[in-house]
Each structure stands twice: as C-alpha cells, then as structure tokens.
Amino acid sequence: MDTLAQPTGMQLQDGSYRIQGIDVLDLCREFGTPLYVYDGDTIRRKYEEMTAAFAGLNCKIKYPAKALSNLSILKLFRSLGAGLDTVSIQEARLGLKAGFAPEDIIFTPNCVSFEEIQAAVELGLTINIDNISILEQFGHAYGDSVPCCIRFNPHIFAGGNAKIQVGHIDSKFGISVYQRRHVHRIVEANKIRVIGLHVHTGSDILDATVYLQSANILFDLAEEFDNLHFIDFGSGFKVSYKEGDHATDIAEIGAQLRTAYTDFCQRYGKEVELWFEPGKYMVSEAGYFFMRANVIKPTPSTVFVGVDSGLNHFIRPMMYGSFHRITNVANPGGTKRIYSIVGYICETDTFAADRKLSEVREGDTLCLHNAGAYGYSMSSNYNSRLRPAEVLVYQGKAHLVRRRETMEDLLRGQIEVSFEA
C-alpha cells in the first residue's frame, strides 16, 4: 500500500503561516525575497523515517549532496549519522569541509575525466565507476591497491516522468547489465578489488515491486563478485507534491527488501551492508521558496502574477514539467481566483499555470512548496540576476546559512578588458 505523505512543516496558525512557530512573513521581511527556507526538523523527521523503515538491516544512508549542497545542510546530515553521496570532486571537497570522513563519502561521477577519478582516490573516497573505459583505466592505474564500486544500469523504467529516469536502456548512467561478462574480464585481468555494486533507476518510484525488481537484479549480480562490503540501491522514492498525492511507502519496501536481503546473505555466505541515497525524499518537503508578487497582469485570456524570481532560481517546473504547490501566505483567507504565476526572466518561465490561489495583490508573498531538493543547487545567474539567500530553521530558531548575492559576487572572477583607443 502507498501512503499519503506526512504534513509539511509550514502550518497555518492563528491566521499566519508558521514554520516551527516562526511567522514566514517575518522571515521574508528580515531576509528579503526571493528566499529559500529549510525546515531542519522536517529533515530530521525524514531521516528518522528512513532509518526506521530499514531497521534491523545492516543499512547506511548516504545523503546525495547534489539535492541540496549548502554546507550547513551537509553538517546537519552528518550530525544525524548519514554518509554522503557525491557526483563531483567539488561536492566531495564540500563534504570534507562539512566534516565527513573520506571513507563515508562515495564518489559517483558521470562522464568525468580520469584525472578527476585520480583526485578522488587521493582524497580517500569510495570510488564508484559507471563506464567500461574508466574501469579499464582504473585497473591499469591501481590494480588491486585501491578498491572500487561498480555502477550497473538495470534497464528498468520506473514509470512516471521520463526526464527523471536513469535506469532505462537509453540512459547514459551505469554499465549495462548485459556487459557484465566484459566487466568481469576487465576486473580479472587487472585484479581490481570490487567492494561494492550500485544501481539507481531514477526518481518517483511508487511501486515497491519495481524497487524490488531492481534489488533482485543487484542481488543476482552480487553473487558473481567475491568479498563485497556493500550493495548500493540508490534511491528514487517518490514524494508528495500536491493535495491527495501519494508518496512511496518506504516501510513496505523495507519489509519486502528485508526478506530478499536475508535470502541473499544466506546464499552469499556473509552479510553485506545495504546503502541508500535518498535525496529528494529527505529534503524536498523541508524546503520552501518565497517570492513577492511584483505585478498582477490581466490579459484577454489569463491573469498573470509576475514574481521577483524565475527559472534562474527554481528551474524544475520549466525543466521537468514538475508540479509544485503554491500558497499565497500573505492573504490566507482571500477569495479564491485563478492565476498563472510567472517569473521575471526574459524567457517563458512559468512556475504554475491556471492555479487557484487566495486572491493575490501586488506585494503579496507567495510560497512554492517542495523546494528543498534541486532548487538552489540548480540555480544560476541567468539574466545577470543574483541568487537568493538561504535560511535554515532548526529547533525553533532561524539561521541565515547563505547570504543573498551582491553585484560584487556577480563580478567576482571576471577580468575587465579595456577597448579604449
């Protein structure tokens, strides 16, 4: 059975929207808009849900830095006991700065140079290799002196939005399961010490059967490798984006996986660690993105709300067609009207079309929900716009964890050339 997602941390109390008792309009007045706000207590709750779902298993959670890479968020996950999943050498260095031990960081890049792999080896990370060419180069360079993990593509389409699926046959991620014999030849010829296997099918997995199908493929592959220390199942758990939406029932997945894992360990002859990388699941609903309504613009067919943000700050609706609930937090009791919410970028940057909101007035503050994952981390300076501030609310206190950018930030790194005669 799928389960409805838990309520988000922002609640309407006495006519005002609050996060851990703090009025969100006070946060916007203090730190300005646009503004990212993260509910640290929600992050902790989601982490505890994950660990409870897989209780009794030899399980480790590796938080994917790419979802939300703010240094304070990384430190929060480290304090909760998580490890770290990184996809670039820069993310890895951020993780080290946040206090993660090198052995707690898995490095899973895609299509990078071998020089970046070597840099990760020098940092002492767990290297996850996802293509034949790098595996060969790794074997030539290190033989059995440096262990590694191998990422396989299981050729499973998890369903849902095709733009966020990475385990199908046309994906650039992972080594095809049909190339397993080639992999073994390279491993055996170079005496590569394989200590882990990894698969990741993509996002929005709702059906436990699909997840277990991927798990069984990985268990089958694992029996071909001696002395594995861990098996990494990635993530892909679906979160709730709108009223009545459903999220993945991770407790059901945990219960079914427990049986499959026990059977595998009996066949394999020892217990191996199970790793999971839930990024969106743990930070999506913890994040809120606040925007100010600059203009109300009626046209013959549509009433637009133009806000002080755009695809430069939050690109998911434009890039993936993703749905994000929007609330007028400045006028909770207003008459419901239909609007399209658009940005100030010189592109078609529509956050939401034909949405029913409490009446929006110029100057009102709107909140875009589920903004914790792939929001700020995918932002840009397009149109030479500045990135917003980030605030973490934790245990009833608001902490500024990234200041708003300035013109000096925009110019930093640029070298001015004079063209005067």
Catalytic residues: 346
Look up residue 241 and give its two tokens: 């984006």
Longest dimension (CA), the chain: 80
360 close to 342: Cβ distance less than 8 angstroms: no
Look up residue 26 and give its two tokens: 């006070």
Question: By three-state DSSP, how is residue 127 classified?
Answer: strand
Look up residue 379 and give its two tokens: 């932002």
What is the Cα–Cα distance from 276 to 53, expressed in whole angstroms?
Answer: 12
Q: Which residues pair with 231 in a beta bridge?
A: 197, 274
What is the Cα–Cα distance from 375 to 311, expressed in whole angstroms?
Answer: 10
Nearest to 234 by CA among 298, 137, 167: 167
Q: E strands within 299-370?
A: 303-307, 326-328, 336-342, 350-358, 365-368
